[in-house]
Chains A and B, each alone.
Chain A
Amino acid sequence: MKRWLRPITPIVAALIAVTACGGSAPNAGVSDRPSAAAEDKELVFYSGGDTNVQDLHVKQIIPAFEKATGIKVTFTFLEHGTGAQGIYDRIKAQSDAGKTQWDIDLWESDTGYYTRPDNLFLQVAEKDIPNLAKVPKPTLDFVQNKAVPYRGSSVVLAYNSEKVPSPPQTYDDLLAWIKANPGKFAYNEPSTGGSGDAFVISMIYKYSDYQKYVTQPFSAANEKDWDAAFAALKALAPSLYSKGVYPKGNAGTLDLLNRGEIWMGSVWSDQSTQALAAGQLPKTVKITQINPAFNGGAAYIGITKNATHKQAAMKYLNFLLDPAQQSFIVTGAMSGYPGIDWQYMPSDARSRFSGADKEYRLWPGGTYGQDMQRLWHEKVAQ
């Protein structure tokens, strides 16, 4: 590069970055920061999601982290993932411009972004983040170690303990129970909420090999196994609520449970626990996890590959995976699962999900998810 061009480069990069965000993102921090020496004094963290995610970071984790380390965290939050693509473009623009110090250190967003071929995120390792040793390996493998799972949720079985004293332990037990108690189970229409998808996915895993979905890339050939699963679901319809009515949305199943229309249903762990805490479900409703488990997922935070404050970013993630901080996630308003294995969690946190404090299975979603929802409509819905 010509010498005279050099001073302009950061400006050009900044311009690209700003235009990539449509000019609407705050452009503070676009300028280059002094090089990260041994000790980072600040950290730039972009996040998005529901306000409970914002509360978790702003009210609990960040103050505790700043107090413990003296690192100043600049936190930018975009509600409900609005502008996630814009943030991604901003990181990518800095990568394309060949910058070595990017202005975003940590980014929390949808899982799919971290493994994109643009390769914008740092592969994390135990030597940098010691608490990663406590994280279940499959959730890290799922994103090729390019982000850290720090909280999660899964689909669980909710049941009316007055009517069902001993809930089913396995998926097969559950199917037998549904047939023995016609009209008393419901799962919501898969396209309308993940807790309905989970019941269908469990059936797919019953007739197909789970490992093929979590360790291998997409292959349409695997979908040949699905015919048997959909046939079984279709055959189950007469035993379901109202002879095969699938409520709309995750809340649809909770509503039926609340009105006593059904005695059992597949629901989200966090949503049902929050509803129980808020008194929106009768106290007689309890949750449990079957074996093998319904699928769930983790929320991830990634370190950008050329983050200016890499050390601080690693410290933050390590701090976040500490059992003390993880307890906030479980017992606080979020009602999340911990990112680390349940065995490292204190007993009061475990008791909140007693019966469901187990590992969950994963589901790759993407094309599989799109096909599953479409085929369910074609082959099962009535």
Chain B
Amino acid sequence: MAVVTSARAVPRRRRFDRSRAAGVLLVLPSLVYLTLFVFIPVIKAFATSFTVRDRDDAGNYTYRVGLDNYAQLATSDTLRANVIFTVFIAVTSVAIVFVIAYVIALALRFGKGPTAKLLGRIYIVPLFIPSVIASYAMITFLANHGFVDGILQAFGLPDGAFPKIVFDWKGIVITQVWLSLPFMTVLLSSVLLEISDSLIESARDVGASSWQIFRHIVLPLSAPGALIGVTFMFLGVIGGFTVPYLLGPNAPQMLGVSMVYYMTNYFEPYIASTQAVAIFMLSLVAAVYYVRQQFKREIR
């Protein structure tokens, strides 16, 4: 009996092994990549954030393990302001992009006129412009005595009345919105395309108004996909450097900028790592949400 069982089991296990080997081989490159460039750096940053560096009067350093960096993140006015500012910018930009992109996507999905067609061609343009070029363009465009100010002054706006947009939070938000709009619109458009026409037509047949169709069919059906787009953009904005560096105020700073300053200018790699962990934690909230949505989708 035992012989028979094992004889039957052997080829099966071999087949299983071969497919498993192929699977491992397929996963291996991305696993190596993730380990080298994601897992190890994250673990290192995490460990570094618990290294506390003390300096004596002569400038000599001593090192110990502790939570002081986190305490500083919570109590230092500058650092705390940076965390709050980062969340504020991310939430504001994402909210504005979402509303505008949704309107454009609706127009592209349901609009039939030449305006919708034209919109479908031009909204994609910012996708091909690097953020550093867009940032400098925004500076000359929106600065005081810049392009827009100049035109408004020609129409009678008094000198100095133009609001401070560049070197201010408004500058970051406007540029992030401009840069992220195409991506969000593409994503929302594909989500809206998934909603079948027959569903909407049948609703219309039973007398539903446009608002009712939007409120009870389009919005709920597009919500999961839309929220994934929101997650992605939130992650992009929260870790951004170029736009807040070039267009943002001197203080508060977004965490991406602040982190670079602490790392390269102030020679405080431990505080920088702690800020990195803070960004990571903020991103984790979004990432967990994303994974849960994906999971739900697969079950469905």
**B246 CB–A CB distance under 8 Å:** yes
Say whether B77 faces chain A, with CB atoms less than 8 Å apart: yes
Inter-subunit contact A218/B265 (CB<8 Å): no
A-chain residues with CB within 8 Å of residue B144 when the two chains form the complex: 242, 261
Q: Is the CB of B251 within 8 A of A382?
A: yes
CB distance from A258 to the nearest CB of B (A): 11
Identify the closest chain B residue to A218 (Cβ).
Answer: B59
Interface flag for A378 (CB, 8 Å)? yes
Residue A374, interface by CB 8 Å: yes
Does more than half of chain A's interface fall in helix, strand or loop, or is it mixed? loop
Q: With A191-B265, A377-B78 in contact, is A259–B59 under 8 Å at CB? A: no
Asked if residues A219 and B164 are in contact (CB atoms below 8 Å), the reply is no
> Taking the nearest CB of chain A, how far is it from the CB of B73, in angstroms?
14
A381 surroundings in chain B (CB, below 8 A): 249-251
Chain A neighbourhood of B268, CB < 8 A: 370, 374
A261 touches B266 (CB 8 A): no
State A335–B246 Cα separation when bound (angstroms).
Answer: 28
Q: What are the residues of chain B within 8 A of A246 when measuring CB–CB? A: 250
CA distance A261 to B143 in the complex (A): 11
* CB nearest to A249 among chain B residues: B246
Interface code A200-239, partner B: CB below 8 Å = 1, 0 otherwise? 0000000000000000011111000000000000000000
Report the interface size for chain A: residues with CB under 8 A from the other chain. 25
Partner of A245, one of B58, B77, B250: B250
Contact with A along B6-37 (1 / 0, CB 8 A): 00000000000000000000000000000000
Q: Is the CB of B266 within 8 A of A374?
A: yes
Given contacts A242-B164, A373-B265, A374-B266, is CB(A218)–CB(B58) below 8 Å?
yes
Residue contact A221 to B265, C-beta cutoff 8 Å: no
B251 touches A245 (CB 8 A): no
A220: chain B residues within 8 A (beta carbon):
55-59
Q: Are B266 and A370 in contact (CB under 8 A)?
A: yes
Contact assessment for A259 and B145 in the assembled complex, using a CB-CB cutoff below 8 Å: yes
- B261 interface residue per 8 A CB criterion: yes
A residues near B58, Cβ cutoff 8 Å? 217-220
Cβ of B50 within 8 Å of any chain A Cβ, yes or no, is no
* CB within 8 Å of B: which A342-382 residues: 367, 370-371, 373-374, 377-378, 381-382
A103 within 8 A of B: no
What bracket does the count of chain B residues touching chain A fall in? 20 to 34
Interface pair A245/B267, CB less than 8 Å apart: no
Chain B residues lying within 8 Å of A72, measured Cβ to Cβ, are none
Contact with B along A180-201 (1 / 0, CB 8 A): 0000000001010000000000
Residues of the A chain whose Cβ atoms lie less than 8 Å from the Cβ of B57: 219-221
> In the complex the two chains form, is A378's CB within 8 Å of B77's CB?
yes
**Most chain A beta-carbon neighbours within 10 Å: one of B59, B76, B77:** B59
* A367, A377, A378: most-surrounded residue (chain B CB, <10 A): A377
Q: When each residue 242-257 of chain A gets 1 if its CB lies under 8 Å from chain B and 0 otherwise, what string results?
A: 1011111000000000
* Cα of A374 to Cα of B253 in the assembled complex, Å: 13
Chain A residues in 8 Å Cβ range of B245: 248
> Contact string, B67-78, partner A, CB cutoff 8 A, digits 1/0?
000000000111
Query: Given the complex, which residues of B lie within 8 Å of A367, measured CB to CB?
Result: 55, 59, 267
Q: Which residues of B contact A217 (CB under 8 A)?
A: 58-59
Bound-state CA distance A260–B55 (Å) is 45
Binary contact readout B53-68 vs A (1 if CB under 8 angstroms, 0 otherwise): 0011111000000000
Query: Contact at B246–A377, with CB atoms within 8 Å?
Result: no
Known: A242-B164, A248-B246. A377 touches B145 (CB 8 A): no
B210 to chain A, nearest CB (A): 47
Give every chain A residue within 8 A of B251 (Cβ-Cβ).
377, 381-382
Offer 22 A-B interface pairs, CB within 8 angstroms, sorted by A: A217-B58, A220-B55, A220-B56, A220-B59, A242-B164, A244-B250, A245-B164, A245-B167, A245-B250, A246-B250, A260-B145, A367-B59, A370-B265, A371-B266, A373-B261, A374-B261, A374-B268, A377-B253, A381-B249, A381-B251, A382-B250, A382-B251
Of all A-B residue pairs in the complex, the 6 with the closest CB atoms, nearest first, are A381-B251, A374-B266, A381-B250, A218-B59, A191-B265, A370-B267
A residues sitting closer than 8 Å to B (CB atoms) are: 189, 191, 217-221, 242, 244-248, 259-261, 367, 370-371, 373-374, 377-378, 381-382
